[in-house]
Amino acid sequence: MLALQLRQRPELLAPPLRLLQVSPDRPLESLFVREGVERVSIDIDNPEVGLQMDVHELTFQDESFDAVVALHVLDAVADQPRALAEIHRVLRHGGVAVLQVPIDHQPRLAARLTDTGFETRALSAADMGSVAVARHGLIADERTYFATRP
């Protein structure tokens, strides 16, 4: 779904961009490995990433990234508020966290994003139109959260 959203709205993650990708999704790498994007990938237990690191304890300086992408990660962490606080901390002002969780986790994530201080916009699969939903087998209510650090 994110690949389709970014194809329709490439300005959402336009270069130049310093990007932190948490627990990278290999099929999406072509979206992020391109000119003008400095990509850093982390995971707690995947040896094929750039750095082995826990999203609860990011070792990066404050305001190190323009964007953070974490797809279906925050529903699996032990302490979601702590992970969100770390993502917020490493984002530059005006930076965006691109987040997805399963539908049943979406209301809790939306509330926690607000509690953490993010300004959030959600794009649903339905926003791409019924043809795209049917063609790609998407769930109309599934959302991608674009959470900006003010």
Fold entry, domain 2-148: Rossmann fold (3.40.50)
Residue 57 tokens read as: 């304890």
Model's pTM, two decimal places? Answer: 0.94
- Banded pLDDT at 99 (limits 50, 70, 90): very high
pLDDT at 29 over 90: no
Q: Taking each helix axis as running N to C, give the angle between helix 80-90 and helix 106-116, from 0 to 180 degrees, rounded to the nearest 10.
A: 50
Q: Provide the pLDDT for residue 32.
A: 85
- In the structure, what pLDDT confidence band is assigned to residue 9 with cuts at 50, 70 and 90? confident
3-state secondary structure of 48: coil
The predicted structure's pLDDT at residue 62: 98
Q: How confident is the model at residue 34 (pLDDT cuts 50, 70, 90)?
A: confident
User: Cβ of 36: how many Cβ atoms within 10 Å?
Assistant: 8
pLDDT digits (tens, 9 = 90+) for 131-144: 999 999 999 999 99
Structural domain boundaries of the chain?
2-148
- How long is the chain? 150
- pLDDT reading at 147 higher than 90: yes
DSSP state for residue 49 in the 8-state scheme = S
